[in-house]
A and B are shown apart, each in its own frame.
Chain A
Amino acid sequence: MTYYKKWIAVSICMAILLIGGILLVNRTAEMGSLDSYTNLSMDEQIQSIAYDETSGRLYAGSYQNRITALDSDGTLLWSFPTGNVVTDLVLGSDGVLYAASDDQYVYRIDARSGELLQAIDIRQRVFDIAVDEDHGLIAVSAGINETKHYVMLYTLAGEKLWSINTHSTARAIAFSDDAQQLYAGTNRADLIRYSVDGEELGRTRLRAAVKGIAVQAGGDAVAVATEYGSLYLLDTHGEITFSRMYELHDNIIGFGADDTLDRIALGGRLGELYILDDRGEVLFSDDRKAGISAFDFTDTQLAVGSLGEPVRLIPLDTFMISRFIGRAGGVLKLLIAVLACGFTISLLRSFQRSRDVVKNGTVLLIKHRTAYLLLLPTFVMLIIFMYYPMIIAFVRAFTDWNIRSEEIHFIGFANFRRMVTEGYFLLGLKNLFTIAVADMLKVLTVPLIVAELVFALRSAKARYWFRFMFVLPMVVPMIVTVLMWKNIYDPSIGLLNQLLETMDLEHLQRVWLGDPKTALGAVIAMNFPFIDGFAFLVFYGGLINIPTQLFEAAKVDGAGRFWNLTRIHLPLLTPQIKLLIILKFIGSIQNFMPIYILTGGGPGVKTYVPGLELYYHATTFGNYGYACALGMAMFVFILIGTFFNMRMRTQSQS
């Protein structure tokens, strides 16, 4: 037993180190704060932003109905009043600033002087604009209310080409790279694709209202941000190629990306800031007091606008560094795991043997080479096929390891969150609980009764033959037993329904495994009358080893059979009972084969168990990281069960 205690200490040590290491890596990858960057103070709540890197000028549109231009040292250059909130700013290449406002106008302004060049009357609140100077087009998304909303195309001169009602507010609009398509994202969670002639090409249904769209220059990827923090990547045909949710406590209010979509920025209403790379990995994150509402990427810098803080300029190199840390994280994790192993082993060894061992290590290694050489095959096998997969399972449970992508990314506890949010695991756990309780009852009752029956037989020969016969069904392979029971439950030629028919009980006939009401019951009732040969042998062995003097004494006291059972047998069989409890517990969690064969988890999810979930994710779905996390969860359950079982035993002994 001392081995167990030591082992538990070791495993706890390793687990703490491992989790500590993982958290550490997680933190370093997400470190960073806006505070350390250039700030351009502005007493306004910024809604949109444009930054001109060559001149160092910053243009910001605000809730205070103003467009403001600042010099690189923060001095005010000019200010342009609008009739309402400035919703979008686009800086053209020829020094023209395009501005959209809730005051129903799109403005063209000279960026140097702040002089109004042209005001285009849209006659509706303008939510977003997109400008394509090469083709001389402005796309406008504007509306009156939730059901009257239009996507419109204008020439740069302000001439309206066409207009289409989207029947839902579209907060985001963008041109494809070749300006042949127009994307509009609506509050009804549709990403609609229009041709440049105003024809609807298709829709992609996303999971929440669209907040922002960005298009890759020279490629065909489209990035879409939706309410509550999801990012999608789509191709020009509207197929979703990537989606991921980021932790936001409220809506997304700011969204931006660079031309190549290598950097994507998300800003939350409560001040969350995420900078992502082209694969959606978090490069940089910060948590501010005020909402992050606007972004503008230039070649080397990112301007961040906020609802209550100064505008910040962050050099893009910053993200390269944190990306490197993120990449190094993988190596670091492995290192930490190795260190943790080494540390615990050396700790143990330092207790047992002195430092001489290390000093004379090589000498001893040679001296005892026979022992080590003889152990070599065992350990080579164990390291390759047991320890290595074990470490991989522990580490990769925290990654998005899957069949689709070449690279593996660290995703923290997302797999474990998925378990409790997705539902299948919890549903499976509920079914598993029912099955495990039933298993426990089955293994502790019938085999004990059978053992008592055989034990009560007086003739030694009868005892032998009954024991033999009760054990015999065990030689039937498990898979054959399960398949036979599947046959017994068969609706047409199954024994059960045939039996009911001959007994004139046709109304009780069921599709036992296909009926949601009976499926779980049928799975549990498999193997009736539940004579588990192994449990029977364990109980019978326990009964034989009870000293006969005890019964003699009981007989003198005039004890009956029942008294014998409750006062002598059961107390003396506690070790057997505890052994069977823990073995059955582990078995119930691990052995999903009968359910896989009988119902495959169905009908619906009526007989679904976590083991099946793991199997499907490890094979059909190819979500290896998630499968590892499921395995880890089941391992933890088994560990907890074993721990309580051991405690029970020691208590009863003391």
Chain B
Amino acid sequence: MNKRHISSAARQSLTITISIILLILAFVPVLLMLVLSLKTNAQIYGNFWSLPDPVAWDNYGRSFGRLYINMVNTIFVVSAATLMSVALAATSGYVFAKLEFPGKETLFLMILSLMMIPAILTLTPRFKLMETLNLLNTRWVLILNWAAAGQVFGILLCRTFMNEQPNSLFESSRIDGATELQALYLIAVPLARPILTTIGVMNMINFYNDFIWPLIAIDSNLKQVISVAIRSFEASTGTIEIGTMMSGYAFATLPLVLLFMLGSRFYIEGLTAGAIKS
């Protein structure tokens, strides 16, 4: 019995050791980014492995000065698109869950079928459409595109969630003389807050990470979002200030880290939302 206990404890410590090794390996790029972001070019080329001494805090000042406009753009555009997609998802999800009307099945099927359409298929026509609508190089080209695409999965999640809410709640509100709009915003939305948060976080991460669409749709660096703008360190001619570049990367990572700190639960639920109904 004792022997077995010891082997089990040894196994536990082995498990922990392997986990820690894997963790360290997984964090290598992040640690490298943080260390390099505090070094000057001379320090990096001089001794790659040395810790920052003296610490080059200026790097952050420089990259912030260069990227803050893009960060403001990103926060504005991503928030607007997220709000829009959540509002659309809540409204349509409610209609499909709680209202009866002719053509409901067909319309829902039409939305469901969009899940099968990969973004890459419609990339070219969307780009040309935005060109025709004169929206290229504006914030709308990002907001409208993201909101339209982001609501689809949201509607499905919302509908499933609201279907599970008791119908009696809504019926009694109707008897009390509430309009459908009131029922939606006074009863359905507060009840669905968890799923709406999940949809919001999920979309926020997706929009924040989108690279190809802003790359195609926005030319002006002043209007560009951060995911594309941080490449400007690379592209610029002359010597690359590696430390500044790395601090720019760290700066771009910050908003998602904050989001994760504020609610890792919603963050994880947002990420795994796809797996919920598998």
Which A residues have a C-beta under 8 Å from some C-beta of B?
A: 3-4, 6-7, 10-11, 345, 348-349, 352-353, 357, 361, 364, 368, 370-372, 374-375, 377-379, 381-382, 384-386, 388-390, 392-393, 396, 450, 453-454, 456-458, 462, 466, 468-481, 483-485, 487-488, 493, 495, 498, 502, 528-529, 531, 533-534, 537-538, 541, 575-576, 579, 583, 586, 589-590, 592-593, 596-597, 611, 614-615, 618-619, 624, 627-628, 631-632, 634-635, 638-639, 642
**Chain B positions 1-38 with a Cβ under 8 Å from a chain A Cβ:** 11-12, 15-16, 18-19, 22-23, 25-30, 32-33, 36
Contact B106 A352 (CB under 8 A): yes
Contact B29 A481 (CB under 8 A): yes
Contact A372 B271 (CB under 8 A): no
CA distance A457 to B242 in the complex (A): 40
Contact B32 A498 (CB under 8 A): no
CA distance A382 to B145 in the complex (A): 10
Contact B125 A579 (CB under 8 A): no
Contact A479 B101 (CB under 8 A): no
Q: Which residue of B lies closest to A619 (CB)?
A: B216
B175 within 8 A of A: no
B113 within 8 A of A: yes
Contact A631 B123 (CB under 8 A): yes
Given pairs A370-B99, A389-B125, A498-B48, 10 additional interface contacts (CB within 8 A):
A353-B102, A371-B95, A390-B117, A390-B125, A477-B252, A477-B253, A479-B211, A479-B228, A484-B29, A627-B124
Contact B122 A631 (CB under 8 A): yes
CA distance A97 to B247 in the complex (A): 83
4 tightest A-B CB contacts, nearest first: A389-B125, A368-B101, A385-B148, A392-B125
Q: Known contacts A352-B105, A381-B88; decide if A618 and B216 are in contact (CB<8 Å).
A: yes
Q: Known contacts A7-B113, A484-B33; decide if A475 and B212 are in contact (CB<8 Å).
A: no
Contact B149 A374 (CB under 8 A): no
Interchain nearest-CB distance for B103 vs A (Å): 7
Contact B30 A450 (CB under 8 A): no
B155 within 8 A of A: yes
CA distance A4 to B109 in the complex (A): 9
Interface window among B65-73, B191-199, B255-263: B255-263
Q: Known contacts A378-B155, A479-B227, A480-B253; decide if A493 and B127 are in contact (CB<8 Å).
A: no
State the total of A-B contacts with C-beta under 8 angstroms.
Answer: 265
Contact B121 A477 (CB under 8 A): no
**Chain B positions 47-64 with a Cβ under 8 Å from a chain A Cβ:** 48-49
Q: Can you name 16 A-B pairs with beta carbons within 8 Å? A: A370-B179, A375-B107, A377-B91, A382-B148, A386-B114, A393-B121, A393-B125, A473-B27, A475-B257, A477-B252, A480-B253, A484-B29, A484-B249, A592-B212, A611-B120, A631-B124
Contact A529 B155 (CB under 8 A): no
Contact A389 B122 (CB under 8 A): yes
B112 within 8 A of A: yes
Q: Known contacts A374-B95, A635-B121; decide if A385 and B126 are in contact (CB<8 Å).
A: yes
B44 within 8 A of A: yes
**Residue from A11, A537, A597 within 8 A of B272 (CB atoms):** A537
Point out which of A389, A590, A596 has the most chain B C-beta atoms below 10 A from its C-beta.
A389
Residues of B within 8 A of A389 (CB): 122, 125-126, 129
CA distance A485 to B26 in the complex (A): 12
B264 within 8 A of A: yes
Q: Known contacts A382-B148, A495-B32; decide if A586 and B15 are in contact (CB<8 Å).
A: no
Contact B208 A477 (CB under 8 A): yes
B172 within 8 A of A: no
CA distance A175 to B152 in the complex (A): 63
Proximity string of chain B (235-278) to chain A, C-beta cutoff 8 Å, 1 when within and 0 when not: 00000001000100100110011011000100110011011001
Residues of A within 8 A of B230 (CB): 479-480, 483
**Residue from B109, B149, B227, B259 within 8 A of A475 (CB atoms):** B259
Chain B facing A: main interface SS: helix
Contact B256 A483 (CB under 8 A): no
**Residue from A357, A386, A469 within 8 A of B148 (CB atoms):** A386
Contact B19 A10 (CB under 8 A): no
Q: Known contacts A349-B103, A390-B121, A493-B45; decide if A378 and B88 are in contact (CB<8 Å).
A: yes
Interchain nearest-CB distance for B270 vs A (Å): 11
Residues of A within 8 A of B111 (CB): 378, 382
Interchain nearest-CB distance for B104 vs A (Å): 8
Q: Known contacts A469-B23, A481-B29; decide if A385 and B149 are in contact (CB<8 Å).
A: yes
CA distance A647 to B81 in the complex (A): 36
Interchain nearest-CB distance for B53 vs A (Å): 18
Residues of A within 8 A of B181 (CB): 370, 374
Contact B15 A456 (CB under 8 A): yes
**Residue from B106, B118, B259 within 8 A of A348 (CB atoms):** B106
B186 within 8 A of A: no
Contact A375 B95 (CB under 8 A): yes
Contact A476 B256 (CB under 8 A): yes
B184 within 8 A of A: yes
Interchain nearest-CB distance for A556 vs B (Å): 15
Q: Known contacts A374-B184, A378-B151; decide if A476 and B116 are in contact (CB<8 Å).
A: no
CA distance A208 to B212 in the complex (A): 40
Residues of A within 8 A of B107 (CB): 375, 379
CA distance A388 to B148 in the complex (A): 12
CA distance A374 to B94 in the complex (A): 9
Residues of A within 8 A of B228 (CB): 479
Proximity string of chain B (206-225) to chain A, C-beta cutoff 8 Å, 1 when within and 0 when not: 00110110001000000000
CA distance A393 to B117 in the complex (A): 11
Contact B32 A484 (CB under 8 A): yes
Contact A498 B94 (CB under 8 A): no
CA distance A528 to B267 in the complex (A): 23
CA distance A639 to B25 in the complex (A): 36
CA distance A596 to B92 in the complex (A): 37
Contact A475 B118 (CB under 8 A): no
Interchain nearest-CB distance for B77 vs A (Å): 15
Contact A538 B122 (CB under 8 A): no
Residues of A within 8 A of B49 (CB): 498, 502
Interchain nearest-CB distance for B213 vs A (Å): 11
**Residue from B101, B110, B124, B264 within 8 A of A372 (CB atoms):** B101
Q: Which residue of A lies closest to B155 (CB)?
A: A378
CA distance A349 to B148 in the complex (A): 26
Q: Known contacts A475-B257, A478-B211; decide if A396 and B109 are in contact (CB<8 Å).
A: no
**Residue from A352, A475, A619 within 8 A of B256 (CB atoms):** A475
Residues of B within 8 A of A534 (CB): 271-272
Contact A632 B272 (CB under 8 A): no
**Residue from B26, B114, B118 within 8 A of A531 (CB atoms):** B26
Residues of A within 8 A of B209 (CB): 477-479
Contact B116 A639 (CB under 8 A): yes
Q: Known contacts A385-B126, A475-B257, A484-B32; decide if A631 and B15 are in contact (CB<8 Å).
A: no
Residues of A within 8 A of B259 (CB): 475
**Residue from B22, B128, B227 within 8 A of A529 (CB atoms):** B22
CA distance A364 to B144 in the complex (A): 31
Contact A480 B92 (CB under 8 A): no
CA distance A596 to B211 in the complex (A): 11
**Residue from A466, A475, A632 within 8 A of B260 (CB atoms):** A475
Q: Which residue of B lies closest to A446 (CB)?
A: B22
**Residue from B28, B114, B179, B252 within 8 A of A382 (CB atoms):** B114
**Residue from B18, B88, B152, B253 within 8 A of A453 (CB atoms):** B18
Q: Which residue of B lies closest to A578 (CB)?
A: B278
Contact B113 A635 (CB under 8 A): no
Contact A384 B272 (CB under 8 A): no
Contact A384 B120 (CB under 8 A): no
Q: Which residue of B lies closest to A649 (CB)?
A: B278
CA distance A583 to B181 in the complex (A): 37
